Amino acid sequence: MQTDLRGRDMITTQDFTDDEISTIFDVAFDLKRKRAVGEPHALLRDKVLAMLFFFSSTRTRISFEAGMAQLGGHAQFIDSRTTQVKHGDTAKELGAIIGRYCDGIAIRQVDWGFGNQFIREIAEASRSPVLNMQCEIYHPFQILADAMTIIENFGRDLRGKTINVSWAYASSYQKPMSVPQSLILLMTRFGMNVRLTRPPEFKLMPDIVEQAKENTKKSGGSFEILDDFDAGFKDADIVIPKSWGAMLTTTDEEESARIASKYTNWITDEQRMALAKDHAIYMHPLPADRNVEVTDAVIDGPHSRVWDQAENRLHAQKAVMALTMR
């Protein structure tokens, strides 16, 4: 079992072996238990995490900041608008300099065609680990928390379980595709039957889809792509319907919103949930467009696990920080 993750960057779960992912879950569940019983776990005393945000956040910011405090360290919240990035600080400079001040650098930069490369350039220059708090391609900490939530409901052996990663309509903004992409990448490693359900204009990146297919070959699971919203729910154990933008069809936000408006009936309601298994769980990384993306009855109903899912962000992130930043 591989337990030494010191100094490692977390940009995508694909960079971690099954053994290493398993170690992250072990530590995350242990830290969740420790917090539940009030057992001190100051594993990162005197360590500092710089959190650099180029996009807004509720859960990610608060859970990383709380997590560092609970681990005995400190997290700096840095709004990119308050930095000198606009005046010339490059990714290389940020990595080299912040990496000397701090023991970890966490970054959220979701600009299409830019964010991931920017984070990788910072990582290349940094002597401290870099943690991806979401780019336009990946959202690894969300998906680790999602996996913890699924394990809590179905156990560690997820072989044969059916998960529906689905597009849903939302009107608030064109959300990144990093959540569904990271979901299909991780869930295909557990021997699950993974469904990606989306309208034809809302394709994911072909390279990511190929990696997901490769994962199923090794794990013994299956991967299929559907374009029928109802079919995605049929007999599923886990459903994660959420919106994302049509970036691979158009990078024009207004055009993407116009395309999305053809699919306003892609809303998760009780009728859709009834198509899934009786014990099926509903998940959403949040924020959700209530009564547009999902009805109140579903997100607040008996199938919903969205609070546990949001809580597990804290434990998954603490695990990765404790393993990589010590």
CB-based closest residue to ligand CP: 60
- Shortest reach from residue 165's CB to ligand CP, in Å: 15
Closest C-alpha among 262, 247, 259 to residue 115: 247
CB of 182 or CB of 324, closer to ligand CP: 182
CB of 23 or CB of 61, closer to ligand CP: 61
Distances (CA, A) of 27 to 106, 183, 215, 299, 321: 20, 21, 24, 29, 10
Distance from C-alpha of 26 to C-alpha of 230, rounded to nearest angstrom? 35
Could you say which residues in the range 235-294 bind ligand CP, by CB under 6 A?
Answer: 285-286
Cis peptide before 287 (omega within 30 of 0): yes
Structure tokens at 234: 């049929």
Q: Interacting stretch for ligand CP, rule CB under 6 A, among 24-32, 52-60, 160-168, 196-204? A: 52-60
Which residues are paired to 51 by β-bridges?
77, 106
Residue 58 within binding range of ligand CP, rule CB under 6 A:
yes
CB of 141 or CB of 233, closer to ligand CP: 141
CB of 60 or CB of 132, closer to ligand CP: 60
CB of 24 or CB of 259, closer to ligand CP: 24
Could you say which residues in the range 165-194 bind ligand CP, by CB under 6 A?
Answer: none
DSSP string, 196-233: EE--GGGPPPHHHHHHHHHHHHHHT-EEEEE--HHHHH
Could you say which residues in the range 85-144 bind ligand CP, by CB under 6 A?
Answer: 134, 142
Residue 60 within binding range of ligand CP, rule CB under 6 A:
yes
- Shortest reach from residue 38's CB to ligand CP, in Å: 27
CB of 219 or CB of 309, closer to ligand CP: 309
Residue 312 within binding range of ligand CP, rule CB under 6 A:
no
- Shortest reach from residue 277's CB to ligand CP, in Å: 25
Total residues in contact with ligand CP, by rule CB under 6 A: 8
Distance from C-alpha of 97 to C-alpha of 126, rounded to nearest angstrom? 8
Instruction: Specify whether the CB–CB gap between 281 and 238 falls below 8 A.
Output: yes
Structure tokens at 62: 């608060």
CB of 286 or CB of 292, closer to ligand CP: 286
How many C-beta atoms surround the C-beta of residue 194 within 10 A? 29
CB of 59 or CB of 195, closer to ligand CP: 59
Residue 57 within binding range of ligand CP, rule CB under 6 A:
yes
Residue 21 within binding range of ligand CP, rule CB under 6 A:
no
Q: Interacting stretch for ligand CP, rule CB under 6 A, among 54-62, 203-211, 226-234, 266-274? A: 54-62
Kindly report the backbone phi and psi dihedral angles of residue 233, in degrees, each rounded to the nearest multiple of 5, phi listed first.
Answer: -80, -25
- Shortest reach from residue 54's CB to ligand CP, in Å: 12
Query: What is the arrangement of strands in the sheet containing 222-226, beginning at the earlier edge strand?
Result: 222-226, 193-197, 162-167, 238-242, 281-282
Q: 3-state DSSP call for residue 162?
A: strand
- Shortest reach from residue 98's CB to ligand CP, in Å: 20
- The residues, any chain, with a CB within 8 Å of residue 8's CB and separated by 6 or more, are 15, 16, 129, 323, 324
| Site residues for ligand CP per CB under 6 A | 57-60, 134, 142, 285-286
